[in-house]
Amino acid sequence: MHRLKDKVAIVTGSSSGIGKAIALRFGAEGANVVVTARRMTLCEETVAQITKNDGQAWAIQTDVADECQVERLLDETVRRYGRLDILVNNAGVIAGGRLAETTTAAFDEVMNVNLRGTFFCCQAGFKQMKKQGGGTIINMSSVAGVQAWAGTGAYSASKHGIMALTKSLADEGRPHHIKVSAICPGGVADELVDASPEEILRSEMIDPFDVAETAVYLATLGNYSVVHQIVIDRLGGRLVADGEEECDRPRCGQLRTQAASLDMHGDN
């Protein structure tokens, strides 16, 4: 049974990582999936995987930090499919480290992609859903969006901002039958999205397809049910962040202390 049959879904950052897992899962459930990210070649690979399994998908290059590109994404999607049922705002990056060592450029990059990008997509998606009488918006936050630790300042600030946007938009969407939810995962095996289940299990990280299944759950709730926030925590051994003491904080193994930008959810 295809739980998302004929639904139109945009998944940002779906060229790799969590976003790719969500796109693949949505395709398997019968959705028309719009695969979008900066890296068009990888977007096309995701589309090929979906269509190989008899799914429907289309790729369009988008940098979510560019408002004009986001507007084009929505316009082209509606022109092609006539509507937008599901919007998953997944594109995101990590940059920075400890606040005293975080450059302005690194801080701005995180805010531009993670927070401004989510804002642009939410705004454009909400307008379309309001016109058509409803829809579902799923924002990818993080455990760092409900907590914060040393070395996560810029990233946590962006993800806390996403939680505020989510809560505000959820309230604004009620009269228009627009559901808005956030998923807050801990350490996910992003780079293993194309690996075997055994490899993912050995990583002792959260399976990206568990996050994808959570997105399917949120997108298939009944007409009068909405879940505002789901935290997916990580079980397993301790993680060690670069240059930090051993800790068991869910994201500490992925939050790096250097200022270089790292791909996490999938390409922006």
CB 135 within 8 A of CB 129: yes
The question of whether 155 is a catalytic residue gets the answer: yes
CB 90 within 8 A of CB 265: yes
Per annotation, catalytic residue among 81, 155, 217, 224: 155
Q: Concatenate the DSSP letters of all residues of 27-45 into one string.
A: HHTT-EEEEEES-HHHHHH
Q: What are phi and psi of 132, to 5 degrees?
A: -95, -5
Q: What is the CA radius of gyration of the chain?
A: 17
List Cβ neighbours of 82 (8 Å cut-off, separation of 6 or more). Answer: 8
Q: What are phi and psi of 254, to 5 degrees?
A: -110, -20
Residues 6+ apart with CB under 8 A from 262: 93, 94, 95, 254, 256
Which of the residues are catalytic? 155
